[in-house]
Amino acid sequence: MSLENYWNEALKKVSTTMDAGKAMWLDFINYSGEDGDTLLLSCDAEMYRENFNTECKKDIQKALDTIANKHIEIDLSVNEEDKKPEKKSIKKEAPTRKTNSYLNKNYTFDNFIPCENTNFAYTAAKAIAINPGSSYNPCLIYGGVGLGKTHLLESIGNYIEEKTPQKNVIYVTAESFTNDYINSLAGKKISDFRIKYRKADVLLIDDIHFLDEKISTQEELFHTFNDLYEKGHQIIFTCDRPVSELPNFTDRLKSRFTRGINLSLTAPDYETRVAILKKKCEEKNTYISDSVINYIAENVKTNVRDLEGSLTTLIAYTNLLQTDITLDIAKDQLKHLISAPTASEQDISLVDITKVVASYYNVEPTQIRSKSRTAIIKDSRNVAIFLSRKITQYSTTEIGNFFNRDHSTITHSIDLIEKEKKTNSDLAANLDEIEAKIKAKAK
């Protein structure tokens, strides 16, 4: 396949995973040729290049390397007029790094803003970075999507790389780790694979929930883990829930992971949301008025990624139209994001869902939200939680707040029903029936 094909495949791949606010910058980038393993791209303005580099490059790079199964260098140039005078040809500059740690240099402790709830995770992550492999090994960072797991994980890596460049820091997503493993099996290069990962002084693996059900990759990771652990090398993982709640993880791997320190990340509170928005404006050299910042912070509560997405939309608007953002413009531009939980789902509320589920199972709505562990109440609670996640746009954290449960209990309930309905056709039918009743009520 030519690099042009890889580029097109990579675009397709990231289009399903990237935030729309970030992915939009890809529209301004064109394929313009290739030179060995260097992919030549072009765009019409420096601004597009900068935004591509900060918002899209990392994801595209990963996708390209995965698809091509080797490192593809990206060379993005700005077409004549807007070219920076010092722009140099970077085509053939050989990278001098020990390994490709693929760390995103934008993720640092300095630009991570902890709140009261996440301060412990932040402080512990810093302690690990200062003194890797000593007291907090292994380390697991867990929490829902967009709450800063990758940011914190890469901050540790960046800090160590900066302070001790001789240390071999390897960052991979669990998905790349799996692909790497499968490719090494196919190419009979398993010993290369093992050498590569066991050479790590610090191994960072992102999103290990991806390995659920991938038993042979888990097995391989188990051996990598043991090898590094015995040598006192630091291992850090992230996961979207506590490892104990991964249904298909082997017990021995779970027990390895939970041996060290477990750090949980939760959604930021209002003050932290404001602080994060202000910090991001500062980073992007953009002024946005306090009233608009407060408006976003009041309305976008789900996670930091959504906060950033809102800001990216507004910044693109001011840059492209050269106008200040007023509160009205902000409301208009963000209406798809902010009204999403209700308008798109015909105003279905968690209260309504709870009522319908309660009447279906002949229990009281208050019992569903209580601490009761009676079987029927527990079952109806799991169903209510599952359906809340399925039909509304509320985050697991918000659903947790409503049902008086923590985030991990919510994901556990959802997984439980998800799994059970595959084998229990009665349950599957009941769920459909209840869902129809809820939707009918909302009309």
The yes or no reply on residue 396 touching Mg ion (CB under 5 A) is no
Of 224, 336, 274, 306, the closest CA to residue 113 belongs to 274
Kindly state the smallest distance separating residue 178's Cβ from ligand ADP, in Å: 18
Instruction: Please give the torsion angle defined by the CA atoms of residues 353, 359, 361 and 366, in that order, rounded to the nearest 10 degrees.
Output: 70
Among 25, 52, 102, 112, binds ligand ADP (CB under 6 A): 112
Dihedral angle sign, alpha carbons of residues 98, 99, 103, 108: negative
Q: Which does 145 bind (CB under 5 to 8 A by kind): Mg ion, ligand ADP, none?
A: ligand ADP
Kindly state the smallest distance separating residue 300's Cβ from ligand ADP, in Å: 12
Site string for ligand ADP, 298-337 (x = CB under 6 A): ------xx--x-----------------------------
Contacts of residue 59, defined as CB under 8 A and 6 or more positions apart, other chains included, come to 14, 17, 18, 22
Site for ligand ADP in 253-282 (CB under 6 A): 276
My answer on whether omega of the bond before 85 falls inside 30° of 0, hence cis, is no
Number of residues that bind Mg ion (CB under 5 A): 2
Six token digits for residue 331: 């409301």
Quote the DSSP letter at residue 266. Answer: -
Six token digits for residue 338: 């902010």
Residue-level length of the chain: 443
Compare residues 145 and 185 and give the one whose CB is closer to ligand ADP.
145
Among 15-23, 26-34, 142-150, 304-312, the segment contacting Mg ion (CB under 5 A): 142-150
Site for ligand ADP in 145-164 (CB under 6 A): 145-151
Among 11-19, 105-113, 116-124, 150-158, the segment contacting Mg ion (CB under 5 A): 150-158
Q: What share of the chain is helix, strand, coil (3-state, %, to 5)?
A: 60, 10, 30
Q: Are 277 and 307 in contact (CB under 8 A)?
A: yes
Compare residues 172 and 391 and give the one whose CB is closer to Mg ion.
172
Q: Which does 147 bind (CB under 5 to 8 A by kind): Mg ion, ligand ADP, none?
A: ligand ADP
Number of residues that bind ligand ADP (CB under 6 A): 16
Among 101, 150, 168, 310, binds Mg ion (CB under 5 A): 150
Residue closest to Mg ion when measured from CB atoms: 150
Kindly state the smallest distance separating residue 149's Cβ from ligand ADP, in Å: 3
Among 23-31, 124-132, 148-156, 274-282, the segment contacting Mg ion (CB under 5 A): 148-156
CA 92 – CA 44 distance, rounded (Å): 23
Of 61, 60, 59, 67, the closest CA to residue 1 belongs to 67
Q: Is 131 left (phi over 0), alpha (psi -120 to 50) or beta?
A: beta
Compare residues 150 and 310 and give the one whose CB is closer to ligand ADP.
150
Contacts of residue 212, defined as CB under 8 A and 6 or more positions apart, other chains included, come to 246, 247, 248, 249
**Which ranges of 57-118 does DSSP label H, i.e. alpha helix?**
57-68
Q: Which does 148 bind (CB under 5 to 8 A by kind): ligand ADP, Mg ion, none?
A: ligand ADP
Compare residues 149 and 421 and give the one whose CB is closer to Mg ion.
149
Kindly state the smallest distance separating residue 145's Cβ from ligand ADP, in Å: 5
Kindly state the smallest distance separating residue 387's Cβ from ligand ADP, in Å: 24
Six token digits for residue 144: 């829902």
Residue 324 phi, psi dihedral angles, 5° rounding: -75, 155
Kindly state the smallest distance separating residue 236's Cβ from ligand ADP, in Å: 13
CA 261 – CA 124 distance, rounded (Å): 9
Can you tell me whether residue 55 is helix, strand or coil?
A: helix
Can you tell me whether residue 31 is helix, strand or coil?
A: strand
Compare residues 220 and 240 and give the one whose CB is closer to ligand ADP.
240
Write out the DSSP string of 170-211.
EEEEHHHHHHHHHHHHHTT-HHHHHHHHHT-SEEEEE-GGGG
Among 113, 124, 125, 417, binds ligand ADP (CB under 6 A): 113
Kindly state the smallest distance separating residue 265's Cβ from ligand ADP, in Å: 7
Residues that bind ligand ADP (CB under 6 A): 111-114, 143, 145-151, 276, 304-305, 308
Residues that bind Mg ion (CB under 5 A): 149-150
